[in-house]
Amino acid sequence: MAGALDIRAVLAALPHRYPMLLVDRVEEIVPDQSIRAIKAVTINEPFFQGHFPGRPIMPGVLIVEALAQAAGVLAIESLGLAGSGKLVYFMAIDGAKFRTPVEPGCLLTLEAEFVQKRATVCKFVGRASIDGKLAAEANFTAMIADPPQG
């Protein structure tokens, strides 16, 4: 069953909050398969103050983080863990490539698909695009775990 998720559902799936929450909405999620989410990139992002003055560009590592967060929503929703407190931790990033700069004012489309899904470890392929033009891509692995005790 495919569907969309609003920001409340995203917040229920992810522990991230401003300024680290990089998924604004989910346009389509197909549990156990794929997700398409959106990050509205605005000049108000704190990283634009220093990256780079006079030519603001979203850092590549944050584009990959946005892809990983979208994949985290896919994993949490697919495994029925929303609201459980379980966290999705990055384990590995492979083959990251950056094709075009991501600048303020664009809508960054985040697409991730399962490559492998297990109860505690998932592998994904992710692509970020602007108006259908590939901006970045990466393969990554994540672990589903309990939050640290503290």
| pLDDT at residue 1 greater than cutoff 70 | no
Beta strand ranges found along 1-150 (DSSP E): 3-5, 25-30, 34-40, 87-98, 107-117, 121-130, 133-145
Query: In this predicted structure, what is the pLDDT of residue 54?
Result: 92
Mean pLDDT, rounded, of the chain:
95
- Alpha-carbon torsion, ordered 8, 15, 36, 49, to 10 deg: 100
Assess if residue 22 is contained within a domain: yes
| pLDDT at residue 2 greater than cutoff 90 | no
Assess if residue 44 is contained within a domain: yes
Region class of 80: left (phi > 0), else alpha (psi between -120 and 50), else beta? left
For residue 16, indicate whether it is catalytic.
no
Dig out the tokens for 86 from the structure: 């379980």
Collapse the DSSP code of 18 into the 3-class scheme (helix H, G, I; strand E, B; otherwise coil) and give the result: coil
Average pLDDT over every residue of 47-71: 96
CATH number at residue 122: 3.10.129.10
Q: Which one of the listed residues 21, 30, 31, 51 is annotated catalytic?
A: 51
Dig out the tokens for 102 from the structure: 């991501």
Domain that holds residue 138: 3-145
Dig out the tokens for 34 from the structure: 């794929």
Looking at the 3D structure of the chain, how many domains does it have? Answer: 1
The pLDDT tens digits for 60-103 are 999 999 999 999 999 999 999 988 889 999 999 999 999 999 99
Assess if residue 69 is contained within a domain: yes
Task: Tell me the DSSP string of 90-115.
Answer: EEEEEEEEE-S---TTPEEEEEEEEE
Q: Percent of the chain scored above 90 by pLDDT? A: 91
What global pTM score does this model have?
0.95
Assess if residue 150 is contained within a domain: no
CA-CA distance, 144 to 27, in Å (whole number)?
23
Instruction: Return all residues near 45 (Cβ < 8 A) that are at least 6 apart.
Output: 19, 58, 104
